[in-house]
Amino acid sequence: MSYGEDLLQRREAVVPAAVARFAGKATAESASGAIITTVDGKELIDFVGGIGVMNVGHGNRQVLKAIQEQAEKLTHSCIHIATYQPYIELCEKLVKLFPHAEGPHGQTKAMLVNSGAEAVENAVKIAKQATGRSALVSFSEGFHGRTLLCSTLTSKTSLKAGCGPFVPEVYRLPFPNYFRYNDGLTQEAFVDRELHRIRQMFINSVRAEDVAAIIIEVVQGEGGFCVAPKDYLTGLRKLCDENGVVLIFDEVQAGFCRTGKWASYDHFGVKPDLSTWAKSMGGGLPISAVIGKAEVMDAALPGTCGGTYGGNPIACAAALATIEEMERLDLNARAIEIGKVVEERWQGIMEKSEWAVDVRGLGAMQAIVFGQYGDRNTPASGMVRRALDASLERGLLAIPAGAEATTIRFLAPLVITNEQLNEGLNILEEEVLKSIAVECRQASDSTLQAPG
Ligand SMILES: Cc1ncc(COP(=O)(O)O)c(C=O)c1O
């Protein structure tokens, strides 16, 4: 038995299955750039980045240096007890990078916590206090984390099975996924229909006057990298303004250079009232942020937000160094380059096999969607799982996305070399095509064996 298999067995003995494994038998001993070395000493090209966390790359020297230097000075004092420089410096940086308020007098504020889910929790608490309202609206295929509130906001039922009762007063709209829900409409007519649906919701399901916030991922992460149409976001912004509803953009997976911009909403010229950030912001350390218009942020009462470890000094130092590295390496430009390569290669798979039904995303946040024999409504989850397991055997770490795990997503560190990128894409393409062939063969064998 390999050390890796032994480790997985030890995991099974002490870690509950609820802490799921999404990447088969992968293990990790160390990592550098876009390469993870397993506990058995095998090198894996990393197309996952710890689920969108490592945009700046594993083992970035500047980030490590900042962590070490900060650890020597101060590891913890709690922002609620003694104010420290890295927390303030990071918030100053965030409000500069992501101004939410318009006009010369508009002010933006930021607060720090530890995870994406915590950022969403805090954003919702702020929105509720700012509006004095209780209802929330989220979207189908949306994902916002695993606390009870975030599970409620999340769409995918398998991720919250048996965890109810959920938080009351959460309503769900279909995500404006043109690919899935277009019903033959033009994009313009589709957007009109979806915006009309929100107005109808205010009449039939929940009064606008009772809605504190609408939370949306501009580019869905776990949901399968669907991109909301620009006109939908513009219309949503207008509806929120007209009805005093706080608009929250969840940038946890799409933010910090993944899409080729600091914020995915920067592609569309639509700004939220509040936004949530985590993952790649910390370069591997647990840190997250809520950023928002000062008038909204300041509506929350002292003591209602934050927590013991929120904005830990070491995590803040890591985030500051991460952002600096993103600027120095121009990772936004690199994300665009990488995204083009991935998109082109995956369009190539679409040309080779009818099973590939869509390639979508923004910048380096790319996904390829599969449907059995080209039927977009019949998930090809088994085929995808087999292809990913076989890819892992050959040295590529990749994971699925989407409610039915019928999509493969690309979240590699943006420091990946062209050679590593191409090698990873070659492995994936070969294994996907092989897996499709296996599936077709099995189907034809079972037809031949079926009793006449
Ligand atoms: C869009 C989005 N929001 C929130 C979360 C939750 O983040 P965390 O797992 O850090 O709690 C995730 C995690 O994947 C996410 O993709």
What does residue 396 show for φ and ψ, rounded to 5 degrees?
-125, 125
The number of the ligand 1 atom at minimal distance from the alpha carbon of 253 is: 16
Report the C-alpha gap between 31 and 53 in whole angstroms. 13
Q: What ranges in 278-380 are assigned the alpha helix state H? A: 294-297, 313-328, 331-352
Residue 181: Cβ-neighbour burial (10 angstroms; 0-12, 13-18, 19+): middle
CB of 331 closer than 8 Å to CB of 99? no
Residue closest by Cα to atom 4 of ligand 1: 144
pLDDT tens-digit profile, the chain (452 residues): 788 999 999 999 999 999 999 998 999 999 999 999 999 999 999 999 999 999 999 999 999 999 999 999 999 999 999 999 999 999 999 999 999 998 878 999 999 999 999 999 999 999 999 999 999 999 999 999 999 999 999 999 999 999 999 999 999 999 999 998 999 999 999 999 999 999 999 999 999 999 999 999 999 999 999 999 999 999 999 999 999 999 999 999 999 999 999 999 999 999 999 999 999 999 999 999 999 999 999 999 999 999 999 999 999 999 999 999 999 999 999 999 999 999 999 999 999 999 999 999 999 999 999 999 999 999 999 999 999 999 999 999 999 998 889 999 999 999 999 999 999 999 999 999 999 999 999 888 877 776 65
List residues near ligand 1 (CB under 6 A). 51, 115-117, 120, 143-145, 217, 221-222, 250, 252-253, 278
Q: Identify the sign of the CA torsion 274, 278, 283, 285.
A: positive
Number of H-type helices and E-type strands within the chain: 14, 15
CB of 280 closer than 8 Å to CB of 323? no
Most informative mutation of 252, 280, 288 for ligand 1 (most atoms within 8 A of CB): 252
The helix or strand, by DSSP H or E, that contains position 449, with its residue range, turns out to be helix 418-449
Q: Identify the sign of the CA torsion 280, 283, 288, 294.
A: negative
The number of the ligand 1 atom at minimal distance from the alpha carbon of 217 is: 1
Measured torsion, CA atoms of residues 348, 349, 351, 356, in degrees rounded to the nearest 10: -140
**Structure tokens belonging to residue 195:** 């915006």
What is the model's pTM?
0.97
Say which residue the tokens 């650890």 belong to.
71
* Radius of gyration over every alpha carbon of the chain, rounded to an integer in angstroms: 22
CB of 307 closer than 8 Å to CB of 113? yes
CA proximity to 232, closest of 196, 195, 262, 199 = 195
Report the C-alpha gap between 152 and 162 in whole angstroms. 12
* CA 152 to ligand 1 centroid distance, Å: 13
Residue closest by Cα to atom 16 of ligand 1: 253
* CA 104 to ligand 1 centroid distance, Å: 33
CB of 398 closer than 8 Å to CB of 34? no
